[in-house]
Structure 1
């Protein structure tokens, strides 16, 4: 089941700045592992970003989101939505399986 995540900054830039390196490493690690299919900034940025995650259940995604240094240090929060696809393009189906 895919899980779209939307990151919202909750603190001023000066509070966020020290945690940027750890935050950047967090999605890179989960992208390399295959859990984050599509991490990136929103356009316009609106003080956050978005991720399309899969390969674990909702509780697993919540744990991963809580490990983001931005969240752990209280300068951002994620809004997580779990999506039960009704239709999937055949080319995307292998990417959206639980173990895909």
Structure 2
């Protein structure tokens, strides 16, 4: 399974600014655990970001999203879309083989 987490700021980017350092640490932690495959700001900036997560089930990714410092501070929220890949590029297949049901 893949999970697409779309982060939207609930207010201004300035309101989120004090929480950026903790949010980056959150991203680093989940990238190091190989749960987050990709993360980045949406373009144009100031609207939020996107994370692609794998290797965990939906309940776990919901728990992870709730732990985001932006969410905890009330300056952001995640919308989660879960997909079961039907076709996968060969370069990604190895990353997805260990996914949780």
Aligned residue number for residue 69 of structure 1: 69
Residue 7 of structure 1, CA deviation: 0.5
Q: What is the CA distance between 1:15 and its match in structure 2?
A: 2.4
Q: Any idea what SS the aligned residue of 1:87 has?
A: coil
Q: Hey, what's the Cα distance between the residues in 1 that align with 2:96 and 2:46?
A: 28
The one-character-per-residue Cα deviations of 1:40-85 (angstroms, maximum 9, x if unpaired) are: 1112225101011001000100000100100011100011000111
Distance 2:16 2:88 in 1: 37
Q: Secondary structure, in 3 states, of the residue corresponding to 1:28?
A: helix
How many residues are matched? 99
Mapped to 1, the partners of 2:82 and 2:5 lie a distance apart of: 9
CA contact (8 A) 2:5 2:80 kept: yes
Correspondence for 1:31: 31
Kindly state the Cα deviation for residue 13 of structure 1 after the two structures are TM-superposed: 3.3
| Structure 1 unmatched ranges of 5 or more | none
1:20 aligns with 2:20: yes
TM-score by length of 1: 0.91
Residue 50 (structure 1) aligns with: 50
